[in-house]
Chain A
Amino acid sequence: MATLTASPTVAPQPNRVRRRQKRRVPPVLLAFLLVPLAVEAFWVFWPALQGFWLSLTNWDGVSAPSFVGLGNFRELFGDPIFRDSAFNTLIWLVLFGGLSAAGGLGLALLLQREGRGVGFYRAALFTPVVFSLVATSLIWQAIYQPDGLLNKLLGGLGLESWQHSWLADPDTALYAVLVPALWRQVGYVMVLYLAGLKGIDPTLFEAAKIDGAGRWQQFRFVTWPQLRSVNSVVLSDSLRSFDVVWAMTKGGPYHSSELLSTYMYATAFQSLRLGYASALAVVIFVLAFGVIVAYLVRAFREDDK
């Protein structure tokens, strides 16, 4: 699920000029608030706390969990699959996050003008966003098959030596999964950046020009600061990646495309090592923590206005 904050296109700016008069809170409003809060507490906060607790235990899901302290985390250090999947997650963050941000920004700058054909181009690039990642994976698996389109094209170009079982080779599996993920993400990030570009007050550019700013400086000091919030969306989406890897390779072959998220899922629901899986989840949480806090701080500030 994406994580975004309030926008001008949907939300009029919350310019609360004067303080709302003090209003007594009718009792029915308590139900309005407490019922949703209770639902979230029961299905999110309470399980989250359990998740942290379970990371300190050994548990097969049947007998009672046994407390092992930091044992799971100690085991993580010596676990080569953990090391591989952590490293792959890092590669994924850099490539998936970086390329989708760069590509999305490039496309947004290219397509921010109005004109003939622009609507079509935007729609074409955006279309994959509405597909599920599973459907996306299947489409691309067909392309990657030994007798699929990609190898066919390479053969047609006289590059037979490049033909490959893209998903079956540990050297290429991770990157072969990355491409469909980017195919779907770039259009999404483009839309976010387009919305950001649209929200910039044109007089800022006028002012910058009068001050003698060149095109690069205008981008660097006027455009970019307005787009920064997209970055945390991009980052948290890369941390959340799971579906596309699970659907294409399940992390294989030989864990070569394993991410922390897929390793955690497999550890929990295939190896049934629920305590160890919870420790992996805690690691993912720690990685995501910075993004969460940055996001909340901004939400907090925005709410202030």
Chain B
Amino acid sequence: MKGKTFAFHAVAGTLSALWLLPIALVLLTAIRTFDDIAGNGLGALPDSFSLDSFGEAWHAGGQSQAMLNSLFVTVPTVLLSLALSAAAAFALSRYDIPFRRAIILLMLAGNLLPPQILLVPVAKLCELLGIYDTLPALIVVQVGFGLGFYTFVLQGFMRAIPDEIQQAATIDGAGAVTIFWRIILPMTRPALAALSALAFTWVFNDLLWAITVLRTGTVMPVTPALLGLQGQYVSNWNVIAAGSVIAAIPTVAVFLRFQKHFISGLAIGAVK
């Protein structure tokens, strides 16, 4: 029995160490100086310590602007997506909407489409509307594409809320909007929290939509801007590493803060 526990920890411990190794490496690379890397090689252990690379990536590398762009995109996208999908989910789950099931599946199907089929038309649509290469374009595109999935999850959740609660509120004279705002929405909070944490990471980490509707370097959010940073600092691996660390901070923070929600969000329906 003891031997078995030991073997378990040996296997799991080795795997965990292997998994953490690249993260340790990027942190170690970020704190090295350029001369150290150039002289001793990228794979060598640090022979220097400096945090200048973070400043370099943040200021000259343009990451401060990119981070602002990311927040301008991510926060409104998450809020809008959840507001719209919660409203749709409310109608679809609590009332006898004709063809409700067909509508739910149609909306979900939209989210399951491979994005490639949408890229060219969406880029052209943005040009046509005059919003190509602006952050609002990225917001609306991502809201539109995500809605189906969020609506599907939220309506499943709202449907499980007992009908009696709503009946009682109706008898007390509450209208649909009041019921939505005061009763159903608060009861949906766990699902909303899980989806917000997930949506934040998805939108923040997105590359494909950003490089489809944006072109100019200065409007790029952090994730696509990392590629620009790499082009700018070709062999300055300390700056590139620092940039990667900076780009990962917001999602790591959201994950650590909302760990429970995050995991349950991921698990939404992996079961069945």
Contact = CB atoms under 8 A, between A and B. Distances in A.
B25 A142 contact: yes
A6 interface: yes
B60 interface: no
Given A246-B207, A296-B105, A147 B141 contact: no
Contact of A51 (B90, B120, B143): B120
A13 B147 CA distance: 22
Given A23-B96, A52-B117, A265-B116, A125 B41 contact: no
Given A149-B25, A240-B115, A36 B147 contact: yes
Nearest to B197: A130
Given A9-B267, A246-B207, A299-B108, A3 B149 contact: yes
Overall SS of chain B's interface: helix
Contact of A110 (B12, B194, B243, B247): B12
A124 interface: yes
A86 interface: no
A236 interface: yes
Contacts of A260: 116
Nearest to A149: B43
A36 B84 contact: yes
Given A134-B207, A138-B244, A226 B42 contact: no
A274 interface: yes
Contacts, number: 372
A271 interface: no
A148 B176 contact: no
A13 B160 contact: yes
B178 to A, nearest CB: 11
B67 to A, nearest CB: 13
Interface string A34-46: 0111011011111
A133 interface: yes
Contacts of B149: 1, 3
Interface in B57-107: 84-85, 87-88, 90-92, 94-97, 101, 103-105, 107
Nearest to B41: A147
A300 interface: yes
A50 B264 contact: no
The binding surface of chain A is classed by DSSP as helix
Contacts of B84: 35-36, 39
A16 B163 CA distance: 9
Contacts of B148: 40, 44
Contacts of B208: 242-243, 265
A19 B154 CA distance: 19
B134 interface: no
Contacts of B198: 2
Contacts of A121: 12-13, 15-16
A40 B43 contact: no
B237 A142 contact: yes
Interface string B109-129: 111111111111111110000
A172 interface: no
Given A135-B226, A138-B240, A226-B271, A268 B87 contact: no
B177 interface: yes
8 contacts: A1-B111, A21-B163, A23-B94, A48-B118, A50-B120, A138-B241, A242-B207, A265-B119
Interface of B: 8-9, 11-13, 15-17, 19-20, 22-23, 25-26, 29, 41-44, 84-85, 87-88, 90-92, 94-97, 101, 103-105, 107-125, 140-141, 143-149, 151-153, 156-157, 159-160, 163, 167, 175-177, 180, 190-191, 194, 198, 201-202, 204-208, 211-212, 223-224, 226-227, 230, 237, 240-241, 243-244, 247-248, 251-252, 254-255, 263-272
The 6 A-B residue pairs with the shortest CB-CB distance in the complex, in nearest-first order = A43-B144, A5-B269, A152-B43, A195-B267, A132-B205, A47-B121
Interface of A: 1-16, 20-23, 25-26, 28-30, 32-33, 35-37, 39-40, 42-48, 50-52, 54, 61, 107, 110-111, 117-118, 120-121, 124-125, 127-128, 130-135, 138-143, 145, 147-153, 183, 187-188, 191-196, 198-199, 226, 229-230, 233, 236, 239-240, 242-243, 246-247, 260-261, 264-265, 268-269, 274, 277-278, 280-282, 284-285, 288, 291-292, 295-296, 298-300, 302-303
